[in-house]
């Protein structure tokens, strides 16, 4: 699945990466940083990690720990959005234009 996203990276580059942190981080992070957005500049897959690189920050996770979901507590998501969950409940969204 992660390889398919990287194979289609041109579709995602220029889209939006939104970081919603993990539940424990949300208790200590400034509220205005939850849901921070940046423009996607690259998707990379190594043997163990899937990376989404943004202009201002990146999100990543171990391939064995990441998963896709359609459920989020952060309201409706735009069409073309993937909701990615990682270790400890870290949630980030990628949306293509």
Chain Cα centroid distance, residue 82: 8
- Supply the pTM of this predicted model: 0.90
Spatial separation of the C-alpha atoms in residues 53 and 75, rounded to whole Å:
24
Spatial separation of the C-alpha atoms in residues 52 and 36, rounded to whole Å:
14
Residues 20-63 have pLDDT tens digits of 988 888 888 777 778 889 999 999 999 999 999 999 999 999 99
Listed in sequence order, the residues at least 6 apart from 76 whose beta carbon sits closer than 8 Å to its beta carbon are none
Decide if 96 contacts 82 (C-beta within 8 A). Answer: no
- For the chain, domain boundaries: 2-95
Residues 54-87 have pLDDT tens digits of 999 999 999 999 999 988 988 889 999 999 998 8
Chain Cα centroid distance, residue 11: 15
As assigned by CATH, the class of the 2-95 domain is mainly beta
């Amino acid at each position: 699945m992660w390889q398919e996203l990287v194979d289609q990276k041109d579709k995602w580059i220029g889209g939006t990466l939104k970081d919603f942190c993990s539940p424990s981080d949300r208790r200590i992070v400034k509220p205005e940083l939850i849901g921070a957005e940046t423009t996607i500049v690259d998707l990379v897959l190594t043997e163990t990690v899937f990376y989404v690189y943004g202009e201002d920050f990146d999100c990543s996770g171990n391939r064995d720990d990441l998963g896709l979901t359609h459920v989020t507590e952060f309201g409706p998501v735009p069409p073309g959005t993937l909701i990615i969950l990682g270790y400890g409940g870290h949630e980030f969204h990628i949306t293509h234009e």
